[in-house]
Each structure stands twice: as C-alpha cells, then as structure tokens.
A and B are shown apart, each in its own frame.
Chain A
Amino acid sequence: DQQVKQNSPSLSVQEGRISILNCDYTNSMFDYFLWYKKYPAEGPTFLISISSIKDKNEDGRFTVFLNKSAKHLSLHIVPSQPGDSAVYFCAASGSSARQLTFGSGTQLTVLP
C-alpha cells in the first residue's frame, strides 16, 4: 500500500519553461513534506520542504504547493534548466515519526 504516490514516472520539458511534478499521499497523519533530487550514481539531495501549516513555500526557482484537502503537493521549477534533469522524489513524515515515506520518483528531462 503506497502511502506516497508519484504517478508520472517521467516528464520532459523544454528549457526555460515550467516543470510541474506532482505527488499524492493517503496518510492524513503526514504533516511535513519534502522534495529530493537525485542524479545517477549519487545520493538524493534535499531540495525544498513544506509544513502542513503552509500551502506554499518558495526557494529561488523552486516552489512547492500543498493542497491538504486533496492530499496533493506539487513542485514547480521555473525556469527549467538542463541541469535540473534528475529524478525527483517526494517524501512525507508525521510529527511523531523519525522516518520518511518516499514516492517512486519522477525522471525529469529538460531539453535544451
């Protein structure tokens, strides 16, 4: 039973355009959400997070939106750059938990 789902295994976007990566969750105890980026042969690196008390968090070109009623979050990258090509993982945590639950990842390819 996947509690965190990323339904798009891959996404291709033209350089300079917006990339939108989506994530859905089922566990209503989750109240903290993170996005990680992973290049081949490297470990994932933290990108951006959002607490359930917010509906938006922005960091430079990256913005995460949270819709609690729909149990949905999205990562927007504007403008997309070729160096953004990587696998993006959505992750979630509850306030009483130490561990994260990860989605299956979305491979983003930004075309020059």
Chain B
Amino acid sequence: QVQLVQSGAEVKKPGSSVKVSCKASGGTFSSYAINWVRQAPGQGLEWMGGIIPIFGTANYAQKFQGRVSITADESTSTAYMELGSLRSEDAAVYYCAREGGVTGIFDYWGQGTLVTVSS
C-alpha cells in the first residue's frame, strides 16, 4: 500500500521560505509524478506543480513560477516543495499527491502540512 508521509507544521515569517517534505513508501517512487496541492483555510484545492523523480524536471503552475521549487531525492523516496517570499496569503495546508498510472489522477495523498505565515 502506497503511503505518503509529510513533514510537520511550520510557522514562518513573511518574506522567508518554507520547505515541506513528502516521503513515499510501498510503491515505485521514481516512476510516478509527485504533485503539490495547497488549500487555504476554508478554501478549495489549488495545484502548484509536480515532478517525476526519474526525470527530475518539475513543472509549475504559472502563479507560482519563480517562487516555488519542487525536487525529489530518489535515494530516500522523498519529494520536496520549497516556497519562497512567503506572504500571509500563503498560509495553507500543503498536500503532496502521487499521480497514478494515468496522467492527472491523484491516487494517493499525504496527510497535509500546515504552514502558518505570521510576523
């Protein structure tokens, strides 16, 4: 059974960066894309970007271009999402999600990581 376990909650100051990890187990890590989706309090889901570890190249939603970096470490089956220049609007729960065998299907999700942005 595939499991995605994310790092713990973070409190960050405006202007700083946050890096969230997502460790996969129970499946073939390298061949499946890992995507990042965020959810602001009381709001809907928003796709940020994703990476296929075996290729190593990430693609990002235009909204986050230049501010987000998604990477993957095949040796530890861990994906990372780093978001910089944090502002109050970035306060959200950040989820990683595995993209299954067919493109665009997010079949397994992490438990979510709460990021608070406060001075």
Q: Do A and B interact? A: no
Binding site for A on B (CB under 8 A): none
Residues of chain A at the chain B interface (Cβ within 8 Å): none
